[in-house]
Amino acid sequence: MTRDKQADTLLLVFAKAPEPGRVKTRLAASLGEAAALAAHQALLERTLCLAVVFPGPAVLMLDRAEAATERRARDLGLDIDYQQGADLGERMERAMAWGLARAERVLLVGSDCPAMSREYLREAADTLRQAPVVLGPSEDGGFVLLGGSDATLWRQRLFRHVAMSTDHTLADTVAALSVHCQPRLLPTLWDVDYPKDLDRARRLGLLS
């Protein structure tokens, strides 16, 4: 984190290393692995470019090492780190704890929400000045953004009983967090899981 930007809010970009058969599997079921990989790479590129203009330090957190992606991120001026944990919930918990040891506020986003914007990230960061947790809901029942400002929350397994990638992931997450705090919700966005989502992104000019 060496860029000359304010350090009170840290952006973490969670992503899978691009590899056929490992990314966008629901897209691959309809479009094939090559097309799914291309979509993943395009979405990741868009997210990395968004991270570049974020008014704070940003880190790409990959699930495994991948030279080309890391080189591209470094060329853009981003730092690289790796996800740690047995499942997605634990990886997010550890990433939040790691980030909050380095910044007052942390925003964690995935790489498959083309509707994510600098303004949305700013709203999330501003919300964390009044609340310990902020979530960006997605239309499919999950969430596209997780933000936190209380390091003590992330020293426990908050997501232990939250099933990821379901139509009730957001509701389960809110329930788990509500034991400790009242999370704030941002406006609902959408992510790319199926061909219709990819078509939507292209129709809106968010992807080519």
DSSP 90-154: HHHHHHHHHHHTT-SEEEEE-S--TT--HHHHHHHHHHTTT-SEEEEEBTTSSEEEEEE--GGGG
pTM: 0.94
Three-state DSSP class for residue 25: helix
Q: Average pLDDT, stretch 9-33?
A: 96
Q: Is the pLDDT of residue 119 over 90?
A: yes
- At 91, the amino acid letter reads R
Instruction: Give residue 155's pLDDT.
Output: 87
Beta bridge partners of 81: 61
Residue 2 has pLDDT above 50, yes or no: no
Residue 7 has a pLDDT of 59
Rounded Cα distance between 37 and 196, Å, is 16
Give CA torsion, residues 144, 59, 92, 146, to 10 deg.
-30
Of 27-36, 127-136, 156-165, the range with the lowest mean pLDDT is 156-165
pLDDT tens for 165-175 read 899 999 999 99
- Mean pLDDT over residues 120-134, rounded? 96
**pLDDT at position 3 over 80:** no
Residue-level pLDDT at 9: 96
- Give the mean pLDDT of 22-38: 95
Which is more confident, 6 or 62? 62
Query: Selecting from 3.30.565.10, 3.30.470.20, 3.60.10.10, 3.90.550.10, what CATH number does the domain 9-202 have?
Result: 3.90.550.10
